Copies of this chain bind each other. A is one copy, B any other.
Amino acid sequence: MFESRSLHRRRFLAGTAAGAIGAASSVSCVSAARAQAPAGDAVKPEAKLEAKPLPGYVAWKDPNAFIVHSNQTVETKRGLVGSGVVTPINRLFIRNNVNPPPDSIVADRDAWRVEIAGVAGPRTLTLAELKRMGLASVATVLQCSGNGRKYMQDALQPGQKISGTPWTVGAAGCVIWSGVPLKAVVEALGGPVAGAKFVTGTGGEELPAGLKPKDVIVERSVPIATLDTVLLAWEMNGEPIPLAHGGPLRMIVPGYSGVNNIKYVKTVALTEAETDAKIQAASYRMHGVGEKAGPAQPSIWEQPVRSWITAPLEGGAAGRVLVTGVAFGGTNAVARVEVSADGGRTWTDAPFVGPDLGRYAWRLFALPLDLPAGTHVLVSRATDAAGTVQPEDTAPNGGGYSYNGWRGPAVTLRTA
């Protein structure tokens, strides 16, 4: 892994120098990872991706805000998450593991039923019943476990391969969820059964015919400690959750990566063991590149501390720029963020701006900088409340998960 990282850095530095000398235009916006490839290669794939139209089930979203990787993977363009802390739903990324259920499940939202198991008095409750049991609201960063995978893929050694969508930074947003605390529901049903160690949620997707259900079902287990924070949510950003984002009811595990937040949740069980569904047992595991994933490896649960710059993404006139970005700490609050305009050699603390929506939300930062004419490599580095500092890079892993390096999303730009 260390070899690979060193190589990445060497290639990165070489790429930056080449960009500085070779760029004909005064405006060049390329990520550090892309800077290392010949210009032709770097530009074409993204241009092709952007041209794909939004899939029909999310056609109501802002058509100009996305890079459509596939029908199930739709990435928010960098810089379009807005400056209001909360990401507008019509610009929020999409990632599904299985096709969404039909629209009919949101025709009568209050009639949606969720089975609560692994409690003293198991019951199936309607959404209407849940709404009378309590109300809480929490802002969380919703982020695909593979957000930033492209930076890992770009740093691989010859012969290595990481499959999966090459997300850069756009498989993430900050959302306010409203619903009932799972804890209130569990307590109303007599509390957890003895020995329960996990909260296991099952999605209501219609499973494709001809496949073993365990191979495709979206069923994830998270540690029972999350019982203190899990929400059964029916609203996002004040609106009923759209089907594409898991409505009518989604299980939200604050601070945990996207896959753990079960859409159209139909069962929530407190269980002794993790589910043996493939998505839990043999996917979303932290394993080496080329190794097989299995239940003994760490599961992709808590999101690591992370930040990236959202503006400027293009060069221009030398002089004053306002460097803005987002920073978050997963299950910890983010405590600090620094910005560098020289690729990480020197750092300046950047102030947070806007309301603090709590430990699971991201914070915006904004730092004015005076950039002389030349090439600048802008990066940001966050530190969480526990003192964990965002690393320069993240060692590649087999699934391309949990990238949180500050080097990958570097913005290289020229000012003149």
A interface, CB within 8 angstroms of B: 81-88, 90-91, 131-139, 176-178, 235-239, 320-322, 324, 353-358, 361, 364, 366, 368
Contact = CB atoms under 8 A, between A and B. Distances in A.
Contact of A84 (B88, B137, B320, B361): B137
B358 A355 contact: yes
A181 to B, nearest CB: 10
Given A81-B238, A238-B81, A353 B86 contact: no
Given A88-B239, A355-B357, A355-B361, A366 B134 contact: yes
Contacts of A364: 135, 137
B134 A84 contact: no
Contacts of A178: 82-84, 354
A132 B322 contact: yes
Given A82-B178, A85-B176, A131-B322, A137 B355 contact: yes
B354 A85 contact: no
B322 A138 contact: no
A82 B322 contact: no
Number of copies: 2
A136 B84 contact: no
Contacts of A238: 81-88, 91
A237 B86 contact: yes
18 contacts: A83-B135, A83-B178, A84-B176, A84-B237, A85-B176, A86-B176, A86-B237, A132-B320, A133-B322, A134-B366, A135-B366, A137-B353, A139-B355, A176-B354, A176-B355, A355-B356, A355-B357, A355-B361
A322 B134 contact: yes
A255 to B, nearest CB: 15
A247 to B, nearest CB: 13
Contacts of A84: 137, 176-178, 235-239
Nearest to A179: B83
